[in-house]
Amino acid sequence: MANYMTQAMSYGQLPRITYYRKQSAPHVSHAESGAFTSDAIQHYADTHQVPPDAVEKGRYLSGQGVPTAGQTEEI
């Protein structure tokens, strides 16, 4: 089973999106996890036309399977 990083993003009453990306290694670097979070924030902000600094970050998880619940997006 492949390992993925996952993190949900939301803003107010707008839909929550769980983003995911395949990890390059079982234990990712802070640079890789940080880039994933930044990309997810930017994608959510661009998609919903909200300021990136207003996007609410969910809990970051690594070593996960592909998320299937709710709205998901691979980045």
Convert the pLDDT of each residue in 28-66 to its tens digit.
999 999 999 999 999 999 999 999 999 999 999 999 999
Give the integer Cα–Cα distance in Å for 28 and 14: 30
Residue boundaries of the structural domains of the chain:
4-74
Does the structure show a pLDDT above 80 at 4?
yes
Convert the pLDDT of each residue in 14-23 to its tens digit.
999 999 999 9
Hey, which residues does 57 pair with through a beta bridge?
9
Whole-model pTM?
Answer: 0.92
Specify whether the CB–CB gap between 16 and 8 falls below 8 A.
yes
Note the helical H segments in the chain: 30-48
Specify whether the CB–CB gap between 58 and 10 falls below 8 A.
yes
